[in-house]
Amino acid sequence: NFLLFDMTTHPLTNNNIKQRLIKKVQEAVLDKWVNDPHRMDKRLLALVYLAHASDVLENAFAPLLDEQYDLATKRVRQLLDLDPEVECMKANTNEGLWA
């Protein structure tokens, strides 16, 4: 877990904010999925990458149904498998996001 999520080293005391962040991560890879990282909201894309790097996606996806969980993890894997070098060279991209 990371600063935004509940854990002993970085406890998040405001449960409402925590639930909103979890919902945002879930929506980013389910309801609001656009199948193109360059068309995704940059903050949502960054949130997904940060949640993965912080090893909290498992907790964020835990309440999902099995099919939703599988789809969410598949889509995150698609994002993680992208080559940052290739993505930052594409037109109209945010190079800092892929650094």
pLDDT tens, position by position, 44-71: 998 999 889 888 898 899 999 999 999 9
Q: Is 61 exposed, middle or buried (0-12, 13-18, 19+ CB in 10 A)?
A: buried
Q: What dihedral do alpha carbons 53, 55, 56, 58 form, nearest 10°?
A: 120
Query: What's the whole-model pTM score?
Result: 0.79
Question: pLDDT per residue over 18-49, tens digit each?
Answer: 899 899 999 999 999 998 888 888 889 989 99
User: From CA 56, how far away is CA 54, in angstroms rounded?
Assistant: 6
What's residue 1's pLDDT?
47
Query: CA-to-CA distance for 74 and 88, rounded, in angstroms?
Result: 22
